[in-house]
Amino acid sequence: MNHLWRIIPVMLIALGFMLSWCPTEAAFPTKAIELVVAFPAGGATDVMMRPLAAAVSKDLGQQVVVVNKGGGSGTIGSGQVARAKPDGYTILVMQVGPGASQPHMDEVPYKIDDFEPVMLVFENPLFLVAGANTPWKNAKEFVEDAKKRPSAIAFGAAPMGGIPHLVMELLRREGGFDVKTVPFQGGGPTITALLGGHIDVTSLNPAEVSPHVPTGKMRLLGVYNTERLKEFPDVPTLREQGFDAVGAVWGGLVVPKGTPKEVQSTLHDAFKKGLENQQVKDAWAKLQTPIKYRTAGELLTVWKMDYDRYGALIRGLKKAGRI
């Protein structure tokens, strides 16, 4: 009996030592992850994220579920993620509109510092596009004509204060001309208006113009990019034509502020690997949306730069009564 009492304390010490080496919680992730798209289902971002989510699900061993939380031009869903628990189980596809321009248009329920950037995933270029019945072959001809006929040319803005609208305002400022700005809710109605001859020009992405350019129903006057696109090698940039007007619709992954760094690292590595998945590449190629991986730091730099420059532009437009 005395022998047993001597052994018990030793056993308890050993048990305590063993328990101290047991992990207090399982490795992330242990349940499904929500990938929030702050726009309605069926839109370009939603369609892009679904194959990426499927690829990442396989790598993480947990479902990555695309959740659509539309409204307020992307600001409602973004605000909900800003207030979500910072545990890595809620990710937002932050886009340039709700991230950099909408905060200057209206009050929004978040700020840049409410999020932690994970990585940039895509960058969708924009074209200056003219209807088939217009006379211009390039942006220079368009600008020269617009100078001669102030506010006579109808430009489709989708939406007001969105990037497709603001890049035209950059060009207008550079070229010293004016247009009649016609607001639309999205790319679909704008395309219909352009094809029907109700507007003369607009700004559209590659997926939106591809069905119509070969048929002659649309004409590409220039691309708001720093260099020509390999898919459209004959379309010059606006800079080549003498106008410093550059802008694109980018999207990156962010998480609520305070999300553990090791969790952010796990998400970064899984999504970066997902962008290299061939099925993801094929799906995005059909949409003609270039994969554009950039680190968390690079995403934050682009975000803050666009926030500042679009903010200055919008303040000027408001002061002039153009918005």
State the CATH number of the domain containing residue 147: 3.40.190.10
Indicate if 257 and 110 belong to the same structural domain.
yes
Q: What is the pLDDT of residues 105-157, one digit of tens each?
A: 999 999 999 999 999 999 999 999 999 999 999 999 999 999 999 999 999 99
- Identify whether the C-beta of residue 66 lies closer than 8 Å to the C-beta of residue 57: no
52, part of any domain = yes
Q: Is the pTM of this model over 0.85?
A: yes
Which residues in the chain show pLDDT less than 50?
A: 1, 4, 10, 12, 14-15, 17, 19-24
Predicted confidence at residue 11, as pLDDT, reads 52
18, part of any domain = no
Q: Is 235 exposed, middle or buried (0-12, 13-18, 19+ CB in 10 A)?
A: buried
Which range of residues forms the domain containing residue 48?
Answer: 33-124+248-315
Element (H, E) at 47: helix 44-60
Predicted confidence at residue 273, as pLDDT, reads 98
Closest CA to 150 of 130, 175, 179: 179
Number of domains, the chain: 2
206, part of any domain = yes
Residue after which a domain boundary falls, among 188, 220, 246: 246
79: CATH:
3.40.190.150
Rounded (10°) CA dihedral 159, 108, 40, 255: 130
Indicate if 116 and 253 belong to the same structural domain.
yes
Q: What is the pLDDT of residues 268-277, one digit of tens each?
A: 999 999 999 9
Predicted confidence at residue 275, as pLDDT, reads 98
142: which DSSP letter? H
168, part of any domain = yes
Q: How many CB atoms lie within 10 A of CB 186?
A: 14
Q: How many CB atoms lie within 10 A of CB 67?
A: 20
Indicate if 42 and 115 belong to the same structural domain.
yes
Distance of CA 298 to the CA centre of its chain: 14
Token pair, residue 46, equals 């939603």
Q: What are the b/e assignments for 206-218, b being 16+ CB within 10 Å?
A: bbbbbebbeeeeb
Residue after which a domain boundary falls, among 217, 246, 275: 246
